[in-house]
A and B are shown apart, each in its own frame.
Chain A
């Protein structure tokens, strides 16, 4: 895992990756479907467009930077073998 400044280029651990992938898909799909339903009802297409754009930006903010909650399960490397 990178340290210091390069942490911003962030790797996250595997459990965090699964969480991130699940999170963005759910956010975008659900907001777009709700936006689509609202546009069906009000007969105006712009709600779908806004839902797509806003949910994409929100999910980018939540998924791209390596937030601490993605790093809760770091890999446990085995310890250095003792020199005999």
Chain B
């Protein structure tokens, strides 16, 4: 401790190490938490379903009812959560598209419960190829939890089916 350089770096690194250890406790304490969400998605309608021959893909816009309660999810290590609605279908290989998303940051106290009726999909579904007619598609609500520091988790909520109409709605 006799030189000024030593006195300069010792408290600094001690502070960093203590902060690191406390953050590590934070991370470990939230790794084993079993996250549950109470969500439901219903009443999915296909509003618009066209064949875009210029870009060689089919487009569809959907609307749905969405309800969710996320107050259980916010513990002390959650920075914010990213909620999204994902559509899965096979054609014949796996396809998955996000049509709606929302970010709820941690200090946004009011809507920890969200409820939307006839919410329009934010992003149109664009399918390479022409095989969506009459297809059975699965819509899921999923959640990604972004921590203040540590592991990133994905949780799956409820899901529901929808069958695409067999004709384009021109």
Contacts and interface: CB of A to CB of B under 8 A. Distances in A.
B16 to A, nearest CB: 8
Given A32-B18, A36-B22, A63 B11 contact: yes
Nearest to A21: B1
Interface residues of B, number: 22
A28 B14 contact: yes
B26 interface: yes
B14 A24 contact: yes
A45 B26 contact: yes
Interface in B1-27: 1-4, 7-8, 10-12, 14-16, 18-19, 22-23, 25-26
Contact of B76 (A21, A43, A59): A43
Interface of A: 9-12, 17-18, 20-21, 24-25, 28-29, 32, 36, 39-40, 43-45, 48-49, 52-53, 55-56, 59-60, 63-64, 66
30 contacts: A11-B3, A12-B2, A17-B1, A21-B10, A24-B11, A24-B14, A25-B14, A28-B11, A28-B14, A32-B18, A32-B22, A36-B25, A43-B75, A43-B76, A45-B26, A48-B19, A48-B23, A49-B19, A52-B16, A52-B19, A52-B22, A53-B15, A55-B15, A56-B15, A56-B16, A59-B11, A60-B11, A63-B7, A64-B7, A64-B8
